[in-house]
Structures are given as structure tokens and as C-alpha cells.
A = this chain, B = another copy of it.
Amino acid sequence: MRITTVGLDADDTLWHNESIFRLTQDRFRALMADVAAPDVLDAKLAEVERRNLAVYGYGVKGFTLSMIETAMEVTGHRAPARIVADILAAGREMLTHPVEPLPGVEAALADLARDHRLVLITKGDLLHQEQKLAASGLGDLFAAVEITSEKDAATYARVFDRDGTGAAEAVMCGNSLRSDVIPALEAGAYAAHVAYPLTWAHEMADPPLGHPRFAELASISDLPAWVRGL
């Protein structure tokens, strides 16, 4: 067997994430309905998030701060205080939202874990990602957990060296072409893309169709057979 190690992305690969951000953004629009048009609000939030990304990084706390900043900016610093309290509550609910594995995830991981080292490789907020893994019930299937601030080729090379037998004997699987697939291929690993119905605009990229170490899978349920066929 050629593959020893399987890296898995977390958000929107193992459990819902983007949909929870979208629901919160819907709630933000409703909260602000009296003071800002939805399209103006969306555009301003996207701008504020982009501006803050280098300082706040990925995750719910930075998103909550960006919603508050957006509320201030679109109202000329006259957002009703009640709105701020509601945004804080929305952020806290995102952080304590129940975590349900997506369909097929538990079976696919249990199957792969029998003869591969599974490594969770995810960006985002350290504490929140650890809490989601614990809440998901999937924690015991993983030999290692790597929570990183970026996911580039160097990250995958380092992680597969440290937690596996190098990138050449590793597969990375995730929903983001930009963060999971392309840099893992660059590092010399195999990569499988399992699309999620919603993809954050920051994570968009063209699929590397025809790449000899790439597969587009319809479901994570197809991952064990693909890995074993390599």
C-alpha cells in the first residue's frame, strides 16, 4: 500500500461551517434592516472582513468583530446599542453551535482509520476547532490534529513529514480547491476534492483537472476506495 496518511480538512468537509456563517449573516441583515439595505450591508461586511483578515485571521471571533465594525460604519457610528448586543449573542451562538458530522463522514473515517493515519488539518480559531472536534465525536479517529494559521504547500510538507511518512505517501481531502487541494498537490501529496454546496468567495479556485494525483469525488464516502486504489 502506497498511502500511509490521510489529511482531512474540518469545516465544510467533516461538518457544516459556511452555512452557519450564512445563517448568521442573514440574521445580521434582519437586525440591521431598519438602518441599512441588505446589499449595502453585505458589500460593507465583505470589505471589512477583507481588511481585517490579516489581523484577525479566520474564525468566529474575528467575524463577530467585523460585523460590529460594519454596523458602526454603515450607520455613521449610530448603530443602536441593542444591535451590538445582538451581534455579540449571534457570535456566541456560532461558537456553541452543535456539531454534526456531515453524511457519510463517520463511516468513511472509521473505514480509513483501520489502516491509515488520519490527520485533521484545519485553519481557524484554535480553541473553537478543538471544541468542534470534541463535540463531533470524531476525535478518537485522528492520530494527530494540526490547526494552522495558513494552509500552503510548506504547511502540508511539514505536517505530512511530522505526522506521517512524507507528502508522497499522503492524501489530503477537503472542500476547498484553494486551501486543501492545490497546495497539497504542490507539496507532492495526492488530493481529493469533495465539494460543499456553499464555498466562501476567498476559497474559490479552478480545479486542477487532469492532474495525475487529483480526484474530484462526489462524496466523502468515495474516499476510502480511491485511497486504496492509489
Indicate if A164 sits at the interface (CB-CB under 8 A): no
Complex CA gap A95/B112 in Å reads 40
Indicate if A189 sits at the interface (CB-CB under 8 A): no
Within 8 A of B (CB), among A52-67: 52, 55-58, 61-62, 64-65
Contacts of A79 in B (CB 8 A): 81, 84
Complex CA gap A148/B95 in Å reads 18
Complex CA gap A82/B88 in Å reads 17
Complex CA gap A180/B95 in Å reads 27
Complex CA gap A127/B124 in Å reads 9
Asked whether A77 and B72 contact (CB < 8 A) given A65-B65, A126-B57, A126-B149, the answer is no
Contacts of A78 in B (CB 8 A): 81
Is there contact, CB below 8 Å, between A81 and B88? no
Interface residues of A (CB under 8 A from B): 52, 55-58, 61-62, 64-65, 68-69, 72, 75, 77-79, 81-82, 84-85, 88, 91-92, 95-96, 125-128, 130, 147-149
| The 5 nearest A-B residue pairs measured at CB | A57-B127, A61-B61, A127-B149, A77-B81, A126-B126
